[in-house]
Amino acid sequence: MTDAVGGLAFGTSALAGLYRPCDADAANSVLWAAWAHGIRSFDTAPHYGNGMSERRLGDFLREKEGWVLSTKVGRLLTPAAETTDSVNGFHNPLPFDQHFDFSYDGIMRSVEASFHRLGLNRIDTLYVHDIGDPVAGTDTAVHKKQLLEGGQVALSELKSAGVVKMVGLGVNHTAICCELVPDMDLDQILLAGRYTLLDQSAREKLFPILEKRGVRLVVGGVFNSGILATGPTKSAHYDYAPASDLVLKKVSEIEAICKSHNVPLAAAALQYPARNPLVASTLIGTARTSSLMRNIEQFKTPLPEALWNDLRRSGFIGERE
- Three-state secondary structure along 150-167? HHHHHHHHHHHCCCCCEE
- Note the pLDDT of residue 174: 97
pLDDT at 208 over 60: yes
pLDDT at 191 over 50: yes
Q: Considering 43, 101, 187, 199, which one is annotated as catalytic? A: 43
Q: How confident is the model at residue 321 (pLDDT cuts 50, 70, 90)?
A: confident
- Note the pLDDT of residue 86: 93
Q: Establish whether 43 is a catalytic residue.
A: yes
Q: Establish whether 72 is a catalytic residue.
A: yes
Specify if 294 maps to a domain.
Answer: no
Q: Which domain holds residue 276?
A: 8-222+272-287
- Note the pLDDT of residue 2: 41
- Cβ 68 vs Cβ 40: under 8 Å: yes
Specify if 75 maps to a domain.
Answer: yes
Domain count, the chain: 1
Specify if 64 maps to a domain.
Answer: yes
Q: How confident is the model at residue 319 (pLDDT cuts 50, 70, 90)?
A: confident
Q: Considering 19, 48, 185, 272, which one is annotated as catalytic? A: 48
- Note the pLDDT of residue 240: 87
Task: Report the candidate in 31, 16, 26 with the shortest Cα–Cα distance to residue 72.
Answer: 16
Residues 113-119 have a mean pLDDT of: 98
pLDDT digits (tens, 9 = 90+) for 224-275: 999 999 999 999 999 989 999 999 999 999 999 999 999 999 999 999 999 9
Q: Report the share of the chain in percent with pLDDT over 90.
A: 97
pLDDT digits (tens, 9 = 90+) for 7-24: 999 999 999 999 999 999
Specify if 16 maps to a domain.
Answer: yes
Q: Considering 19, 59, 72, 272, which one is annotated as catalytic? A: 72
- Note the pLDDT of residue 3: 44
Specify if 263 maps to a domain.
Answer: no
pLDDT digits (tens, 9 = 90+) for 50-85: 999 999 999 999 999 999 999 999 999 999 999 999
Sign of the torsion angle spanned by Cα atoms 239, 245, 247, 248: positive
What's the chain's average pLDDT? 96
Specify if 238 maps to a domain.
Answer: no
- Cβ 276 vs Cβ 208: under 8 Å: no
Q: In b/e form, how buried is each residue of 192-217, taking b as 16+ CB within 10 angstroms?
A: bbbbbbbbbebbeebbebbeeeebbb
- Note the pLDDT of residue 279: 97
Specify if 295 maps to a domain.
Answer: no
Sorted by sequence, the CB contacts under 8 Å of residue 40 that are 6+ apart come out as 4, 66, 67, 68
pLDDT at 1 over 80: no
pLDDT at 4 over 80: no
For the domain that residue 65 is a member of, what is the CATH number?
3.20.20.100
Using alpha carbons only, what angle is made at residue 18 by residues 69 and 92, rounded to the nearest 5 degrees?
A: 105
Specify if 72 maps to a domain.
Answer: yes
Q: Establish whether 48 is a catalytic residue.
A: yes
